[in-house]
Structure 1
């Protein structure tokens, strides 16, 4: 999901004005805040949306007045809990949404994704992705068919080849059984998961039906970025009607903790391979 550009740019312009009025260089401000200079620059240029805690620290470092601080904090809070209605989001095209997610993934050193009932997007093969995009399609546009969105989703997977990034892809066992695609295609999808799990920078986990669960599964989400390490860390989640972006530092950290709890109940490595192979064998066995 993306902020409305005018909102983010107005917030960025306000922060930049504070720094200039205070007569502080970006280098000095970065040292004061304990940030990288890159984070300061990206924030000022509107290339990243700062968390409310970051805006508050910026205001303190630049001695902002109470009125200016209140205005900027209000904007930051709105951005931190931004929700975009699907009808408005889908109208410009699902492809652009996938491209925006790709941009966010490119800036993240760690990517955590959880899906309770389907294979996560970064691990989907083309026919499976096509089936997912056909589910509950509320809007389609003649000039931009869903095929372009599928292309954009598959293009995102190029990031998996970057050895500097770490990926943790977590699913519920339901994802291995749902008949979104014919058995032959599902078999290929599960084989792809096996192959992906063998990559050194990728962890694939499945929460089994019969295993002990540590926390509620609730809903799917992605944590892009490592809090306290990357310039930006955020959470993307979806409801029936909206896509939600969470940028609050505290809430992103809570999602990371929740993800770690989910992962404790997941099968990985050899146990995962055995589970996938068993399901592949069942798909190979014709019904009696």
Structure 2
């Protein structure tokens, strides 16, 4: 986790400890029906509180008026680190809708993805397989069809004017079988079809390419104002200039190792042929 995030979580814990000053951690845990270790972890910044945790804490410590302040602190903390557990409480569709707002606000979008085809270029069947995998992982609401429709709807931005997509993927993303072979074959056909579209610049970093930085997690850059980085437990939404600058430099280095046009098309065709699907 980021240093800024951990500092904010530690500061929130210190505030919780202030509110508990008139009772012991053991007494508060008993009052809330929690383990004493949970109280300790929240106060020392080793665990992130939920909104319900904070509301209960404020009431149980005799400071119900502090509830809104605590929630505001949590909101500020999560403006940078957005856990999937919280984001997916209502399913994947709201997450897709929130991302669409950022796409619509941007004119130049850059992406890096090393493990799967980027969402903006996914077919519906491929997207369905990806959402299914993440629903199973996070045990989130099964709104897969709604999420797929939202992702497909966002792709209309590829065909408008005034917006450019610079997408770089590792060759591995062409071979990952996170879906049936027939679905992956159709997905690769889709990728081959977008090469040459005037709003998309699609590059592939080949296996064996010399790279100046090891490929890392997938991320999107929205103009020069926002980087969204995906990890297994959370997304990082980074809007400070230094952090965005780091990810822009990473993207530039990976872009330098990528091939484009006919060379990228050949890599896609080779992955398609390896599937042995008509």
Would you call these one fold, judging by a TM-score over 0.5?
yes
Cα distance between partner residues in 1 of 2:79 and 2:102: 17
Determine whether 1:275 maps to 2:270.
no
Match of 1:105 in 2: 103
Task: Identify which range, 130-139 or 153-162, moves more after superposition.
Answer: 130-139
Match of 1:42 in 2: none
Cα distance between partner residues in 2 of 1:168 and 1:285: 29
Q: Which runs of 5+ in 2 are unaligned?
A: 1-72
Determine whether 1:250 maps to 2:248.
no
Q: Which runs of 5+ in 1 are unaligned?
A: 1-74, 228-232
Do the aligned partners of residues 255 and 81 (structure 1) sit closer, same or farther apart at CA in structure 2, a change above 3 Å counting?
Answer: farther
Match of 2:15 in 1: none
Match of 1:240 in 2: 232
Superposed CA deviations along residues 162-205 of structure 1, whole A, max 9, x for unmatched, are: 22111011111111111112222211111111111220120111
Contact in 2 for aligned 1:113/1:223 (Cα 8 Å)? yes
Cα distance between partner residues in 1 of 2:176 and 2:257: 20
Give, in angstroms, the shift of residue 282 of structure 1: 2.4
Determine whether 1:204 maps to 2:202.
yes
Match of 2:257 in 1: 265
Contact in 1 for aligned 2:181/2:277 (Cα 8 Å)? no
Match of 2:159 in 1: 161
Task: Identify which range, 119-128 or 214-223, moves more after superposition.
Answer: 214-223
Cα distance between partner residues in 2 of 1:285 and 1:237: 34
Secondary structure, aligned partner of 1:113: strand
Give, in angstroms, the shift of residue 124 of structure 1: 0.3
Which segments of structure 1 move beyond 6 Å, counting only runs of 4 or more? none
How many pairs align?
204
- Aligned ranges 1:73-88 → 2 under 5 Å: 78=76, 82-88=80-86
Give, in angstroms, the shift of residue 140 of structure 1: 2.9
Do the aligned partners of residues 81 and 87 (structure 1) sit closer, same or farther apart at CA in structure 2, a change above 3 Å counting?
Answer: closer
Cα distance between partner residues in 2 of 1:117 and 1:177: 9
Cα distance between partner residues in 2 of 1:147 and 1:107: 25
Point out the structure with max Rg over C-alpha.
2
Contact in 2 for aligned 1:234/1:245 (Cα 8 Å)? yes
Cα distance between partner residues in 2 of 1:259 and 1:160: 20
Cα distance between partner residues in 1 of 2:277 and 2:232: 36
Secondary structure, aligned partner of 1:209: coil
Q: 1:129 aligns with which of 127, 130, 133?
A: 127
Cα distance between partner residues in 1 of 2:277 and 2:186: 15
Contact in 2 for aligned 1:80/1:247 (Cα 8 Å)? no
Cα distance between partner residues in 2 of 1:80 and 1:234: 15
Give, in angstroms, the shift of residue 79 of structure 1: 6.5
- Aligned ranges 1:35-184 → 2 under 5 Å: 78=76, 82-137=80-135, 138-141=138-141, 145-184=143-182
Give, in angstroms, the shift of residue 139 of structure 1: 2.7
Cα distance between partner residues in 2 of 1:181 and 1:133: 11
Task: Identify which range, 173-182 or 122-131, moves more after superposition.
Answer: 173-182
Give, in angstroms, the shift of residue 136 of structure 1: 3.6
Do the aligned partners of residues 282 and 240 (structure 1) sit closer, same or farther apart at CA in structure 2, a change above 3 Å counting?
Answer: closer
Match of 1:4 in 2: none
